[in-house]
Homo-oligomer: A and B are copies of this chain.
Amino acid sequence: MSTLNDGSFISTVYIHPGGGAIARNNHKNSDKRRRILDAAVSVFAEKGFFQSKVSEIARMAGVADGTIYLYFKNKDDLLISIFEEKMQEINVTFRRALEEEKDARARFRKLIHMHLAGFQAYPELAAVLQVELRQSSRFMRGYKKVELKKYLDFIGEVIEQGQKERAFRPDIPLGLAKRLVFGTLDEVVSTWVLAGRPYDLETLADPIVDLFLRGIQREPSGTKTETERR
């Protein structure tokens, strides 16, 4: 659909650890750890965090219940770990992918596309990050979402760069702008997930970009708009 065929923000990273020479395994049998994590994503996505039983995750991962506790502190930690590892992968992938684009507007556009295309490619992960994660009290309370902050900062950087390049308005409070962008994407993905993913998510990217860039307001006469002009 999109020319942003690198939109899948996970696969990139998936390849590296297994295939490359660089093994960043903390645990000997890191494959088991990954199997547990993948099973957790599946089960959480299907049943919801609270309906998911640790024993079911264990069964799906092909390990004993107790084994899970060799890799994760507890059920909550499982959820948090999904978040941390996936967000980190996302951050890495995004940063790498956006380096290809030099222009701020193009970067901004690509960011939106990747966000939507990424979740579209990993709907189970989308369900977990968008819905189930919020059910963890540890996640919602007191836990420093470092990687999420990084993602927000990342959005901020793109906007800031745009301001430096004089492509974006200089008077926008950065903290607000990034929250605004993230909030919208978050809302759009959540709605899509909770509605049962009935439509193509990435289709929304361009209109969203347009809206962000130009605003709701009808521009003062004398200003030309590609779409509006006839």
- What's the least CB distance linking A187 to chain B, in Å? 3
Contact check, B218 vs A169: say whether CB atoms are below 8 A apart: yes
Contact check, A188 vs B183: say whether CB atoms are below 8 A apart: yes
Which of A51, A172, A222 gathers most chain B CB within 10 Å?
Answer: A172
- Chain B residues lying within 8 Å of A182, measured Cβ to Cβ, are 187
Contact check, A216 vs B216: say whether CB atoms are below 8 A apart: no
Q: Is A168 an interface residue (CB 8 A)?
A: yes
Which of A105, A204, A215 gathers most chain B CB within 10 Å?
Answer: A215
Contact check, B179 vs A216: say whether CB atoms are below 8 A apart: no
Number of A residues with CB within 8 Å of any CB on chain B: 53
- Contacting residue for A140 out of B141, B194, B212, CB 8 A: B194
Contact check, B137 vs A134: say whether CB atoms are below 8 A apart: no
15 contacts between A and B (CB under 8 A): A48-B140, A50-B50, A50-B135, A166-B218, A169-B219, A171-B225, A176-B207, A176-B208, A180-B184, A180-B187, A180-B208, A183-B185, A212-B216, A220-B223, A220-B224
